[in-house]
Amino acid sequence: MIKISQNAFAGTLESSDCLVTITPNESNEVNFEINSVVFKQYGNSILKAAQNTVKKFDISGADIKIQDMGAFDCVIEARVETAIKRALKGAK
């Protein structure tokens, strides 16, 4: 497992997009925080999209915050993937 050691973000706060921020934490867990204008209807779907993307990377020790502005799943997955790749840049 690769421990996240640096902050990174991807995406924007524009309509249909989301801003994903990754920060390292002291544990080995990956924690999610989701703020969404459609949280009641799509909160679970957003979490699932983010978790599925995280599974593709062998990472630990990260807090992932998603500020959703009504993004489709494919957009959330793209932004989470980019944020993880940026956080992993230079990691061994």
Let me know: does 70 contact 35? Beta carbons within 8 Å.
Answer: no
Q: Residue 75 in contact with residue 16, Cβ under 8 Å?
A: yes
Q: Measured from the CB of residue 52, what is the shortest distance to other proteins in angstroms? A: 12
Is 66 or 71 the residue whose CB approaches other proteins more closely? Answer: 71
Tell me which residue has tokens 């599974």. 55
Q: What is the largest CA-CA distance in the chain?
A: 39
Out of 54, 57, 79, 88, point to the residue binding other proteins (CB under 8 A): 79
Binding string, residues 12-51; x marks residues near other proteins by CB under 8 A: --xxxx----------------------------------
